[in-house]
Structure 1
Amino acid sequence: MSTRVVFVIALLVLANVGSGVAVVFARHEHRQLFNELTRLERARDELNIEFGRLQLEQATWAESNRIDQVARTRLGMAFPETRDIVVVRP
């Protein structure tokens, strides 16, 4: 065999090995990114559940009858009597 043929074969073997290493590296990176994606999706789902719970809690605490009850019991507030209302006109 001539040196030229040996050089071409060596070059093709090196290209083949390099291509194989690149494939292994790409697959490894793909697995790592997929695991990260799965972890982030799980965290997103947990945050969505927590957000739903917080919205429900906010709606419960913001009900007008709840606010009225707290104002009357804890703060001692009451609606003014008609005789206590004063209208100021410019």
Structure 2
Amino acid sequence: MRRLNLLLIVVVLVSAIGVITSQHQARKRLQALEQERDRSNNLEVEFGQLQLEMSSWAAHTRIEKIAREKLGMQPPDMKKVQKLGVGQ
């Protein structure tokens, strides 16, 4: 009977240690998941900001201003512009 009690105590202790270990791992994984969600949210915000910045850098008025001021470019004379047909 003593052996059975001792065996049962060992089984209970091993089981308890297993439960504690699995709970600890679950908490660590949940914490890592939350950190990755935060990181994902931050990256989404940064992506949105970069898209806004990119659209402002590519704005036609900005490009035209740089072409005129820095590169000295001018629109062509409309008399010299040829229109292309659909089949050309």
Fold conserved between structures, TM > 0.5 = yes
Q: CA deviation at 1:8?
A: 2.0
Work out the CA distance in 1 between the residues paired with 2:48 and 2:19. Answer: 43
Alignment identity in percent? 30
Alignment root-mean-square deviation, CA = 1.9
**1:63 counterpart = 2:59:** yes
Determine the structure 2 residue equivalent to 1:80: 76
Partner of 1:21: 17
- Residue 85 of structure 1: how far off its partner (Å): 5.6
Give the partner amino acid of 1:81.
Answer: D
Q: Cα distance, 1:9 vs. partner?
A: 1.9
Q: Does 1:47 align with 2:43?
A: yes
* 1:6 equivalenced with 2:2 (yes/no): yes
Partner of 2:85: none
TM-score scaled to structure 2, two decimals?
0.82
- Supply the AA of the counterpart residue of 1:27: Q
C-alpha distance in 2 between matches for 1:68 and 1:15:
79
Gaps of at least 5 residues in structure 1 are: none
- What TM-score do the two structures reach when normalised by structure 1? 0.80
The runs of at least 4 consecutive aligned structure 1 residues that moved more than 4 Å come to 82-86
